[in-house]
Structure 1
Amino acid sequence: MNEASHVALFPCAGMGHLIPFLRLAADLHSRGAAATIITAEPTVSAAESDYLSNFFATFPRIKRLQLHLLPHKKSQLTNDDPFFIQMERIADSVHLLQPLLSSLSPPLSAAVVDLPVLSRVLRLASLPIYPLITTSARFFSLMASLSHLPPHENDRLEIPNLGSIPVSSIPPPMLDPNHYFAAMITTNTAALREARGVLINTFASLEPEAVEALRRNGVDHILPIGPLPPFKRSETVIVLPWLDEQAPESVVYISFGNRTALSKSQTRELAAALEMSGCKFLWVVKGSKVDKEDGEEVEAMVGAAFLEKTEGKGKVIKGWVEQERILAHPAIGGFVSHCGWNSVTEAAALGVPVLAWPRHGDQRVNAEVVERAGVGVWEREWGWGWERLVPREEIADKLRAVIGDGKLRAAAKEVKQEARRTTEVGGSSQRLLQGLMESFKTN
């Protein structure tokens, strides 16, 4: 192991942020760098805590530096989301890192940090700092342009060098200057110029126009290093022998991520749609936004009658799963997804067609990436998660269409080949990661 380079990695709240940071840490570790993960204590979700414990058991030579957070101090900004509150707490506690970072051995060569803490870390440390962007290049283009966008006309916002994005695709908190989300974006994107490089978990062939727009709009040090590969864990979280018994590409996988819980009425409609469609399915259910508060049993969530009627046709499970392992299974033929960016990149890398059903945040913009890249389809009329109860008949029609669309499956497999080429030796992401390693050694 080449101890000449030592990199600290500092993710914020939520699995959508944590997973790409840990994947990058494992990749840098495999290339010979020493790595330290800065973890905020306590975590918001049990999934984060469990995932971190397993990661450090898998990689005992990667160090853990715990940042014990100060109590939340309510600001004048609107912020009632538990994950955003955690991000605010982390940013307010960054100054506690200074003595901890200076005591690390060997001394740090660089730090890779989450965007919500970028400006604070830049003020704190004299190291080369690289933000890792955990959303799509398309949504990041919107973030990077937010502070100087002109007032939107009609129902669209014009992004320089990229085109327009519907206002209906932008999460409302982002357009409210008094909301934490909007303030966090404008504060930290203003600091991008001071970063040594801007890493992003995407690849140029998935979003060529957005990557080019970022470069032309002043983020010329953007480094698309994705899709970041999953790492082998020391323990398997869930084993599903039922999948092994299913025909190739015959099962729809349904998951709305770690931060999204469907309403009870929408859960009932989705259950009825699965029964109506006749599709085989694997459905990961969630009862509340924060898993520590989720005490409802599967039977109560989807109904005992549904479980009885679909026995043998599908499985309903609750809790954290190794999604990339499920998507890689030959039985999976489609993915109903909220379009969190990790889910999009995993589906793209594995060639699984997506039925996009965005719920909040960056997910409607990400759904457009899915559609443009040919990875899947997006029913725009379904709106955000709170806007409309989508009826079972519509869902059933879309499920059958996605699982039976040979043209869509072929297009998704083409994207899979593009992803493979970019991560192979000589591919664009591999070249950028190797260059990153060289820059760490010379810093």
Structure 2
Amino acid sequence: MSDAVVHVALFPNAGMGHLTPFLRLAVLLVNRHCRVTLITPQPTVSMAESRLLSRFHSAFPQVSVLPFYLVPFDASTANSDDPFFLQFEAIRRSCHLLPSLLASVSPPLSAFVCDMTLISPVLPITESLRLPIFILFTSSAAMLCLFSSIARLIPSISEMDFVEIPGVSTIPRSSIPPLLLLPNNVFANILLEDSPKLPKSCGILVNSFEALESIPLESLNSGKVVKELPPVFPMGPLMPCEFEKNEREEQMNSSPLKWLNDRSPGSVVYVSFGSRLSMAREQVREIGNGLLKTEFKFLWVVKDKKVDKEEEDDLQEVVGTDLMRRLKSKGLVVKHWVDQSDILSHNSVGGFVSHCGWNSVVEAAWHGVPILGWPQIGDQKVNAEVVEKSGWGMWKKTWGWSGENLVEGEEIGDAIDEMMKNEALKVKAMEIKEAARKAVGGGGGGGSSEISVQRLIDELKRMNCSG
């Protein structure tokens, strides 16, 4: 039994921000000689998820894939019209189908890794199967501090101006994800139900590393946040893999890299708000005005709809014909898939205007690119605070959440210039880049995350033997 192969099932939730780190974790485990089974909820919400899964399956045929067909449910019974949150709920309500699905898995599983938003429906199943369960937390360790404390904080949070969280210090109430403060919201209900069950897991995996979040990680693992919390394993950076490149789209849309090749080092600001956000056209056009005002060249990825299947309008319609004409003389504006890692690694890119989704933050850290944070939803203000405290980025707290304020172009342009001219941010970003590479063993010897990953594998082997 001691020589039995570790076999891990991975169960992600909806959205690229959840799926992507699961697939990168799968690659890491395969490279450590583990057997991996990937459970894929079907149908996906977005085309981006379907395409990414297809490329992953082609690149890693040794990973077993179990399609998980969801039970239809009445969306009116969930207090949300967000397609991704409705998919969260559909997956949770379908989890009773997991035991029969897992019965077909061979060899037997050593452990089950589920998304942080699937704990409550999955936990009774893994307990009945006597299967160790781990949680992949797809945000920052700082956000994990908040997530693990939220059930305790929510009853009195409306009376607070600032919230004390061990490992995060003090954050204003305005940095709490707004949906958590809405009564009976599906997202809030999920987090409030799942958070108290974290201690029942065998461990929590986080896409972070010591040099980036030493205080939150130490607070989590020392019991300062929640005494009964299981070990937290910093696994990051979980970095982009070759399978994530879409060769056909790369061939069709290679203009960003070609365009960047003609720009001087550090002269371009990259602007992207991720795969999840839909931004009002009035604000989109103010961003355009801000990019015209800044003295720097820019590469701007425009997203108009929350779900990519609905992205039908062309750039002229979204940005405006006259504004688009003026933008073309100074930068490149695109409305299609781009390889973000390739862009952030290009030496002409000197700064990143980002929503501070955690995957984007970690990729920017890996490539040493300073960030101007503009948090829009969810965990992003907490993540922006991580970046600012680490000294390699900044964020404008007065800009508010998505749709809360109309931020004018002049202010956007001034903030971009401020970031791009800040030499201290550049120096610190390069230090973070070096630390990120050391964490995964790039500097020779065992990096902090490399040691953490091996500790997890050893624990899985021990469980395999005792099972």
Which deviates further from its counterpart, 381-390 or 273-282?
A: 273-282
Partner of 2:270: helix, strand, or coil? Answer: strand
Partner of 1:131: helix, strand, or coil? Answer: strand
Gaps (5+ residues) in structure 2? none
1:349/1:415 contact within 8 Å kept = yes
Task: Give the counterpart of 2:180 among 156, 174, 177.
Answer: 174
Matches within 5 A, 1:176-195: 176-195=182-201
Alignment partner, residue 202 of structure 1: 208
Structure 1 distance, partners of 2:200, 2:177, is 27
Post-superposition offset of 1:182: 1.8
Structure 2 distance, partners of 1:134, 1:81, is 19
Alignment partner, residue 99 of structure 1: 100
Could you report, residue by residue, the CA deviation over 1:413-443 in whole angstroms, capped at 9, with x for unpaired residues? 1111111111114011111111222222232
Alignment partner, residue 143 of structure 2: 139
Structure 1 distance, partners of 2:210, 2:369, is 19
Matched, 1:401 2:418: yes
1:3/1:106 contact within 8 Å kept = no
1:336/1:357 contact within 8 Å kept = yes
Q: Which amino acid aligns with 1:191?
A: K
Aligned residues between the structures: 442
Matches within 5 A, 1:24-423: 24-74=25-75, 78-125=79-126, 126-149=130-153, 151-152=156-157, 153-160=159-166, 162-215=168-221, 216-217=224-225, 218=227, 219-233=229-243, 235-236=246-247, 237-238=249-250, 239=254, 240-311=257-328, 313-423=330-440
Structure 2 distance, partners of 1:272, 1:199, is 41
Which deviates further from its counterpart, 313-322 or 147-156?
A: 147-156
The Cα RMSD (Å) is: 1.7
Identity %: 46
2:179/2:187 contact within 8 Å kept = yes
Structure 1 distance, partners of 2:50, 2:183, is 32
Could you report, residue by residue, the CA deviation over 1:321-378 in whole angstroms, capped at 9, with x for unpaired residues? 2211211111111000001010111111111000100111111111111100112110
Structure 2 distance, partners of 1:405, 1:159, is 30
Structure 1 distance, partners of 2:76, 2:304, is 29
Structure 2 distance, partners of 1:17, 1:154, is 31
1:3/1:32 contact within 8 Å kept = no
Partner of 2:210: helix, strand, or coil? Answer: coil
Task: Give the counterpart of 1:431 among 451, 454, 457.
Answer: 451
Partner of 2:118: helix, strand, or coil? Answer: helix
Structure 2 distance, partners of 1:276, 1:163, is 37
Q: Which amino acid aligns with 1:133?
A: F
Q: Which amino acid aligns with 1:7?
A: V
1:3/1:33 contact within 8 Å kept = no
Partner of 1:207: helix, strand, or coil? Answer: helix
Name segments (4+ residues, structure 1) moved above 6 Å: none
Post-superposition offset of 1:163: 2.5
Structure 2 distance, partners of 1:439, 1:289, is 40
TM-score (normalised: structure 2)? 0.91
Matches within 5 A, 1:4-23: 4-23=5-24
2:283/2:406 contact within 8 Å kept = yes
Partner of 1:111: helix, strand, or coil? Answer: strand
Post-superposition offset of 1:154: 4.1
Structure 2 distance, partners of 1:429, 1:119, is 28
Structure 1 distance, partners of 2:156, 2:461, is 45
Partner of 1:355: helix, strand, or coil? Answer: strand
